[in-house]
Amino acid sequence: MTDADCGRQLCRFLFGHCEAVGSEEEANRAKFDCLVHMTQKLYALVQGRIKPDNPDSLAWQEFLLPGHLFTMIFKEKLEDVLLGIRAQIQRDIKRFPEKVQFRGSTSYFKSVLDKQVDVGQRMRHFLVTGNVTSRTGLDLMQVTGFTILADKLNYFRYLSHFRSVHRGSFFTTMKTTTVRKLLPESWGFVCPVHTPDGSPCGLLNHIAVNCRPLTHPLKDFDTPAHLRAFLVLLGELGMSPLHGFTGLVHDSSALSVILDGRVIGKLIPQNAKRFLFQLRSLKVKGHPLVPRLMEICAVLDWQDRVYPCVTLSTTPARVVRPVRYLGTASDSQEYIEYVGPMEQVWMDIGCTDEDFRVGETTHMEISPTHMLSLVSSLTPFSDFNQSPRNMYQCQMGKQTMGTPFHTLLHRTDNKAYRLQTPQQPLCLSPLYEQFQMEEYPLGTNAVVAVISYTGKNPNNAL
């Protein structure tokens, strides 16, 4: 093979996210641009100009969602069936060539199919045991513990199963505590209160009440026509195409504009703020070419030793949350914008009215309590508790006997715990009524009688 052929073969296994750009030539060019950007960032790291990315930060992580994992396993099992069919036919051709008949009858092909593994049985085994049996490993760091039983002791417990996120059993054995730290990037996305004590503390977390994991690709954005129109729009806002004739490619001060891991253009630092302001305005106002769930992360200089670039993200498995976009002085209307963990570090988002600064604050939190999960938001007057007490209440609330369902007479459960005389709290938080938690009450107040042994008032004794 020539050097060019070797390069083409190697290119097939590098930067697979660039394959959807278009033709093979365009994909190879996108891969080369990505490699150049990574090399420049590597040089900056070796020179000490930037810090290495923190793999424990939510800004550099994505969620492995149940549907994505199930689809990955299902795809591999179907591939195993196809590989098994091919291997069986090849063996039959070598040993019994007269039996291999594809025309006139389907009996031979049916016999080959009957000898393959049962895909449905394999998927059922995964759901029942939570163990992944894979020939490739599916790029996972563990092979067990992927499924849990959705326990319905009460509605708090049942709901928390679907809003929990686990870092992985691999990290439970690590002696360091860096993987358990709550970093600023997690504000509004991962609840700082709702985590169990013990070995999974800080690893088994729950997402905030308004956090939204993205499960599907953004509609029509991955089509070539929509993507080309979006690139034209970015050019009108001030971005220069990467392979244009502006001479900007050789300017070392230009910022790279990256869309889903692909370098799509360059941006002059002097025009960066105006470019980002216009793009964000189009995003929050619902421009048809700009997705409302797109993440716009902008690092305009070398502050905090972070590599400067503009990163646009539209892929699934990310998390976003809503905040109030204050707009400009000419536009007094407020909009709701969805931001991601990577971009919010470089934004000025006020939490309360006291945090608002004229000319600096561009966003405001919808509610200060939206940093908490649903269960932790239901604790009344949590700001008067010590921090561990709030964490314990999240666990004790899920252990309280309650009303798990209203269809008790029509269910086939062989065992169910149901509280007969539940009580409603006297003090309710806004989320308690918003999520209609009174429809699934739980718990009964404990009444403790205190009597003195000597007949004196205990208060007087003190």
State the Cα–Cα distance between residues 31 and 242, nearest whole angstrom: 13
Helices (H), ranges, 173-267: 224-237
Measure the CA dihedral 448/453/456/459, to 10°. -40
State the Cα–Cα distance between residues 242 and 259, nearest whole angstrom: 12
pTM for this prediction: 0.88
> Is beta strand 204-206 parallel, antiparallel or unpaired with respect to 335-339?
unpaired
Q: Per this entry, what is the length of the chain?
A: 462
CATH number of 224-371: 3.90.1070.20
Give the pLDDT score at 461.
45
End-to-end CA distance of the chain: 93
Give the pLDDT score at 245.
44
State the Cα–Cα distance between residues 228 and 88, nearest whole angstrom: 46
Closest CA to 134 of 82, 186, 185, 78: 78
State the Cα–Cα distance between residues 290 and 376, nearest whole angstrom: 35
* Share in percent of the chain as helix, strand, coil (round to 5): 40, 10, 45
Give the type of residue at 99.
Answer: K
> Is beta strand 212-213 parallel, antiparallel or unpaired with respect to 349-350?
unpaired
Checking phi first, is residue 399 left (phi over 0); if not, alpha (psi -120 to 50) or beta? alpha
> Taking the domains of the chain in order of start, what are their residue ranges?
3-49, 224-371
Q: Alpha carbon of 425 to those of 180, 377, 381, 399, 430: distances in Å? A: 33, 14, 13, 17, 13
Give the pLDDT score at 10.
87
SS3 15: coil
- Cβ pair 218, 294 in contact under 8 A: yes
Closest CA to 397 of 440, 426, 439: 440
Number of neighbours of residue 82 by Cβ within 10 angstroms:
10
| Residue 244: partners with Cβ closer than 8 Å, 6 or more residues away | none
The tens place of each residue's pLDDT in the chain, 462 residues long, gives 899 899 888 888 899 888 877 788 888 889 999 999 999 999 999 999 999 999 999 999 999 999 999 999 999 999 999 999 999 999 999 988 888 888 877 888 899 999 998 999 999 999 999 999 998 989 999 999 999 988 889 999 999 999 999 999 889 888 888 999 999 999 999 999 999 988 899 999 999 999 999 999 887 776 788 888 999 999 999 998 887 544 444 567 899 999 999 999 999 989 999 999 999 999 999 899 999 999 999 999 888 899 999 999 999 999 999 999 987 655 667 789 999 999 999 999 999 999 999 888 999 999 999 999 999 999 989 999 999 999 999 999 999 999 999 998 899 988 888 998 998 888 888 899 899 999 999 998 888 887 777 766 655 544
Give the pLDDT score at 247.
45
